[in-house]
Each structure stands twice: as structure tokens, then as C-alpha cells.
A = this chain, B = another copy of it.
């Protein structure tokens, strides 16, 4: 596992918040920050561990999970690059409420928490950006809670496909980053029901699916399913 001291000034993958830092603040960040490459499948943080530093996902894809009843995995979010991980646990508690696992090879930065807090105290705009992203995360959870409670399964499955297409891959063609079991854990259903849903979409020509290669053929119908299904 290679480590390197960062030059955050020239980083091409700055967070929305760190873009507002001044040069000397970026240097301070860089001096208290390590970039770590990880391979697909590795765990970044374990649910239940003490919070110790801020983790920034530079690039790649991560699943945010929690264990529920009978240790059953619940996937809350699929997170792409330029995102801080586990902020709610960090500022709202002393232990991590979630685990994070790499869905692709990726790089994370570990930032010393004292440094991070110092930057927050020094730079109100930075803090404001962080707060704003926390609030967006919060709105997203509420939105998901609403959907989970009121939509039927095929609607939630359609949502997941649209989410991958529009938010993650920005294309109508993509490779599913999750197994069907994981998709089930993401939308709150069983593997079998997920498989049936995908078969159904395939039969009705809403999508094509070979192995985990998806192409969305009829996005309007898929949105219709998301709405009414």
C-alpha cells in the first residue's frame, strides 16, 4: 500500500469545499493528508470503529452500508469521487455508523481531523460548503426514505437503474457496479425479486441486459415504472 505526501495545490480532484481554500490552507491540508490507492473489494471503513480522520474519495466508486436485522446488509448509497465519507458519523457521533467498500479500484485521502477542524474554523466559506453537502446528503436520505416506503419494488428498481445511468455513469449504457444481491440490498428487497424485475424490464424491451452490461432502451417507460410501479 503506497503512501505519498500530497500537494493539494495542484490536485485535479479537489472537493467542492476545498476549492475555496487559500494556497497556504491547501498546503496545510497537503501536509496532513495521505493518499492511498485501494483495490476493488477492499474496505475503507468498518461500521462500529472509532472515527479518527476525514476520508475523501478522490475517484472511483464506493458502497455505503450498514448491517441491520440478522446482519443483513443494507446499502444506503453508491458514492462516486470527490466526496467526503462518513462526515455524519464524524461530527454527529464518535463511532462510524457505516462501512465503506470499494466497488472499483480507487484512491482515498486520509485527512487528519485536527487539520480539518482548523480549516473549518479559519475558513467560513469552507465550512459552509461542507454544511451544504451534509444538508444535501440529508435531503437525499429523506427522499430515499419516502421512496422506500411508498413505492413498489419495480418502481424502486427502475429508480436504481436511472440513478446508475444519470448520476453515476452519465450514459444509457453501463456495467452494473453491483451484483443482483447487492441491488436487492440497495433497494430493500430480495435477490429473486430483483432478478424477476430485471427479466421483466428485459421482456418489455425497457432495457437490454447481458451479464452485467445494461443498456436503457426506453427511458420514458422506465420513468413511468418509477412513477407508477
Q: Which residues of chain A have a CB within 8 Å of any CB of chain B?
A: 66, 68-69, 72, 74, 76, 87-93, 97-98, 120-121, 124, 127-128, 130-132, 134-139, 141-151, 188
Query: Are B149 and A74 in contact (CB-based, < 8 A)?
Result: yes
Question: With A and B bound together, what is the CA distance between A149 and B188 in angstroms?
Answer: 6
Name the residue among A91, A130, A132, A151 with the largest chain B CB count within 10 angstroms: A91
Q: How far is the CB of A98 from chain B (nearest CB, A)?
A: 8
Question: With A and B bound together, what is the CA distance between A89 and B143 in angstroms?
Answer: 12
For A138, give its contact among B66, B74, B141 (CB under 8 Å). B141
Q: Is the interface of A mostly helix, strand, loop or mixed?
A: helix
Q: Which residues of B contact A88 (CB under 8 A)?
A: 135-136, 138-139, 142
Query: Are B150 and A68 in contact (CB-based, < 8 A)?
Result: yes
Question: With A and B bound together, what is the CA distance between A31 and B76 in angstroms?
Answer: 42
Copies of the chain in the assembly: 2
Q: Which residues of B contact A188 (CB under 8 A)?
A: 148-150
Q: Which residues of B contact A68 (CB under 8 A)?
A: 146-147, 149-150
Query: Are A97 and B142 in contact (CB-based, < 8 A)?
Result: yes
Q: How far is the CB of A11 from chain B (nearest CB, A)?
A: 24
Query: Are A120 and B130 in contact (CB-based, < 8 A)?
Result: no
Known A124-B121, A151-B69; contact A91-B131, beta-carbon cutoff 8 A:
yes
Name the residue among A130, A132, A141 with the largest chain B CB count within 10 angstroms: A141
**The 5 residue pairs across chains A and B that have the minimum distance between CB atoms:** A92-B135, A149-B188, A141-B141, A88-B138, A68-B150
